[in-house]
Amino acid sequence: MKEISCKLLVIGAGPGGYVCAIRAGQLGIDTVIVEAGKPGGTCLNVGCIPSKALIHAAEEFEKLSHMAGGKSPLGITVAAPSLDLAATIAWKDGIVSRLNNGVAGLLKKAGVKTVHGWATFRDGKTVAVETEIGVQVIRAETVVIATGSAPVELPSLPFGGPVISSTEALALSKVPERLAVVGGGYIGLELGIAFVKLGAKVTVIEALPRVLAQYDAELTRPVVRRLAELGIEVLVNAKAKGLSTKRDALLVETNGGKNGKIAADKVLVTVGRKPVTEGWGLEQIDLDMAVPFIRIDDQCRSSMRGIFAIGDVTGEPMLAHRAMAQGEMVAEIVAGHRRSWDRRAIPAVCFTDPELVTAGLSPEEAKTRGEIKVGLFPFAANGRAMTKLGEDGFVRVVARADNHLVLGIQAVGQGVSELSTAFGLALEMGATLEDIAGTIHAHPTQGEGFQEAALKALGRAVHV
């Protein structure tokens, strides 16, 4: 097979990799991208997109179930709904397929050559790709590593049989009657909430004293209340020890060393993700590591000249939009542009019920930098939230006390993921409390809560 030479080689066609390749192609850079699976990576194929499809289907099913039970305050009653999960998964797969084709089309439109197979480094400028028709050697002036991440496996609960990762959970053909979720982070709770709405009995096992420990307790309180309302049993300070002999229950050690069993048809392990740093010849190149991640500078350069790394393989936050921003920046650097990026304005969304959004610093983080002002506006005082039966939650703004520069914004509530763009924009533009308070927000919307929170911090609250 003829050797390929190019200016830029991107390894991995996830959100970071394909954005990097497309932008490079737009800038006239001779670019090749290598991907062993389908374009789009974890996010598009077995992560962000399919999980949100399942979450939406679960929300719709729950609404109908409430209406069938005569529990809807809207005065709507319907017949008892039924669920064909296989059809739901087929619908989800259709969305994924359309987006796969869309990414492939965009790469082609940008003039990027795609090589399907697994890439392995021979040296810092050369990779060998195992393709269906043999080994393809690619030489490049610059290489971008965008190999992503994979679910973490517990030694006591290896994947297989009843023990599944988020990947298998998103491909189930029927709803498990009893689901044990090991790990109370955002992935575990997103999927646990979805499956309880679809009819499963769900138990969450978390080793830490509370779930969603990466967020402050005030922000997660509405989610914890909702877990109880949904009938999800949550065990904190508990450790999963393995499966029972019959493999029909999860063995758990609770606080104080007491042992117990949780009956489970499926055990979903969601204890985090790890960077994919094995299998592609890391030992053939000399990269400094911030174990387990690849060490990079503020322009995503690795310790080797001509090698960049982006996305999950470089560390937290493991977010698709972070990887995309890095990929775009690297492509422009390779094209000779002066670029850098600032991670302060990266919003993070947890698609639980209710949803969580954070951008910038939390109140506790901000306090370490000096005196602050905090404004909180509850959705219980927001007309639009009332009309959507989504009064639980709030918007919170954190700012410096001296010049009112906004340092962080958080929200919890129904549909608040759609406020994340406004939050990120405010931080990126260096907004002050006065900027947000002085911006006319459309009424009636949940976005008004953002303005009201800023007004509250200024001591000028109107609706609370």
Catalytic residues: 443
- 137 in Cβ contact with 126 (< 8 Å): yes
Q: Is the peptide bond before 354 cis (omega within 30 degrees of 0)?
A: yes
CA–CA gap between residue 324 and residue 330 (Å, rounded): 10
- 233 in Cβ contact with 203 (< 8 Å): yes
CA–CA gap between residue 279 and residue 210 (Å, rounded): 36
Place of tokens 């609960």: 157
CB burial of residue 301 (10 Å; 0-12, 13-18, 19+): middle
- 377 in Cβ contact with 413 (< 8 Å): no
Three-class SS string for the chain?
A: CCCEEEEEEEECCCHHHHHHHHHHHHCCCCEEEEECCCCCHHHHHHCHHHHHHHHHHHHHHHHHHHHHCCCCCCCCCCCCCCCCHHHHHHHHHHHHHHHHHHHHHHHHHCCCEEEECEEEEEECCEEEEEECCEEEEEEEEEEEECCCEEECCECCECCECCEECHHHHCCCCCCCCEEEEECCCHHHHHHHHHHHHCCCEEEEECCCCCCCCCCCHHHHHHHHHHHHHHCCEEECCCEEEEECCCCCEEEEECCCCCEEEEECCEEEECCCEEECCCCCCHHHCCCCEECCEECCCCCCECCCCCEEECHHHHCCCCCHHHHHHHHHHHHHHHCCCCCCCCHHHCCEEECCCCEEEEEECCHHHHHCCCCEEEEEEEHHHCHHHHHCCCCCCEEEEEEECCCCEEEEEEEEECCHHHHHHHHHHHHHCCCEHHHHHCCCCCCCCCCHHHHHHHHHHCCCCCCC
Three-class SS string for 57-94?
A: HHHHHHHHHHHHCCCCCCCCCCCCCCCCHHHHHHHHHH
